[in-house]
Amino acid sequence: MSKAILTLPMMPVDGNNYGKFITPIICETLSNIFDCNYYQCINILDSFNDRRAIIDSYLSSLKDNNIHYDSLWFDTKNISRLLKNIEELIRMGYILELNSTVYRCECGVVEIEKDKIITCNPNNLKFYYDKGKLLCKHCGTVCKEYREKILAFVPSGIQLQDIKILPRYLNKDIKTYEQTVLNSYTTISRNRNTGVAINFNGTKYNIDIDFLWGTYLNTFGEDEKIVVSGNRMLYQLFLVAVIEKCLFPKNHTILLGTPYISNIRSILQNPNFIDNEELRKLFILFNTKWQKKEVLYDETILTYLNKISSIKRNILYSIINTSIKEGDNFYNDVENVLKRQLNMQECVKKLKLERR
């Protein structure tokens, strides 16, 4: 069966933010191991910022770091197909019109249902409380309460038990998300102009961009897919899988949530750091320790890679990227690769054998 590795649609960023290279480096490595296409997916659509201005800089930074993808995917070039998916979800009864109480600020950054505030991720809040009032962090205005109709994604009744995610410990989070999604709804419309709209029962609704591109999996023709994202985007990763289950229940896409290297920004100040793309890629791959959600970059890994010769680093990189003979279970194959082929100790053992 044909396979593909793809990122969640990522916002382009300007400059060498090494944290943003973790997912592309892992995608490139997996595509080499499984000998399949790697799609770098990019989110340009946005209501507040013109991301087209930095796309060239972002692609140049990938090139400068020797990160190779097979194809670029842009949400801007797939709007019609994504809107067809929205229409299909409406036809299937998974998108409904509901009455809701919404809090909204003047600039539109904050737009949230009253009954969803308590479930917000505390690490990603766009508002704060001051003297009992809800205020926008962006514009500083008080969020006012409105009673209005919204479009909502309501996937109740679908079977989510077979969503496949790695590392396995993320299943605990997935189970929590399952209860939230199956027992509630996800608002997919916005009052502000998002640039993409649809008519429902004679009313024009602006579609939330994150939900729009969340329907993107069927724009790829491969039979089996691995979708890779940092584990801080785990809910969005999960929602992509839920949408796919609604549209194509028999598909079995694998979700991969990469650990967060919390102090990656400080790597440039480390005296052992060498501005060498070969070393950088090995450093990121060996620091992505799949047993934990969040890690600190390991000084000893940097020291070791700095100490060995360029020839040995080349061999190590070849060991990591060696294609494998696949078994009957793609999920198990991917898990074994994370545990063994991307494991520094295993790779160093093979390096020593190469030298004999």
Would you tell me how many other CB atoms lie within 10 Å of the CB of residue 349? Answer: 12
Tens digits of residue pLDDT in 66-76: 899 999 999 99
- Compute how many other C-beta atoms are within 10 angstroms of the C-beta atom of residue 237: 25
Q: Report pLDDT digits (tens) over 226-282.
A: 999 999 899 999 999 999 999 998 888 999 999 998 887 777 677 666 677 788 899
State whether 234 and 85 are in the same domain: no
Q: What is the CATH number of the domain that holds 269?
A: 3.40.50.620
Same domain, 20 and 56: yes
Question: What pTM did the predictor assign?
Answer: 0.91
Query: Mean pLDDT, the chain, as a whole number?
Result: 90
Model confidence at 290: pLDDT above 60: yes
Rounded to a whole number, what is the distance in angstroms from the first to the last CA of the chain? Answer: 38
Cα–Cα distance, 351 to 319 (Å, whole number): 8
Within this chain, do residues 74 and 85 fall inside the same structural domain, yes or no? no
Which amino acid is located at 80 in the chain? S
Q: pLDDT, tens digit, for every residue of 121-141?
A: 655 678 888 888 889 998 999
Confidence of residue 209 (pLDDT cuts 50, 70, 90): very high
**Which range of residues forms the domain containing residue 72?**
3-78+214-354
Question: Do 349 and 219 belong together in one domain?
Answer: yes
pLDDT digits (tens, 9 = 90+) for 148-189: 999 999 998 787 778 899 999 999 999 988 888 888 889 999
Q: What percent of the chain has pLDDT over 90?
A: 61
Judge if 155 and 223 occupy the same domain.
Answer: no
Q: Which of 197, 213, 229 is the last residue of a domain?
A: 213
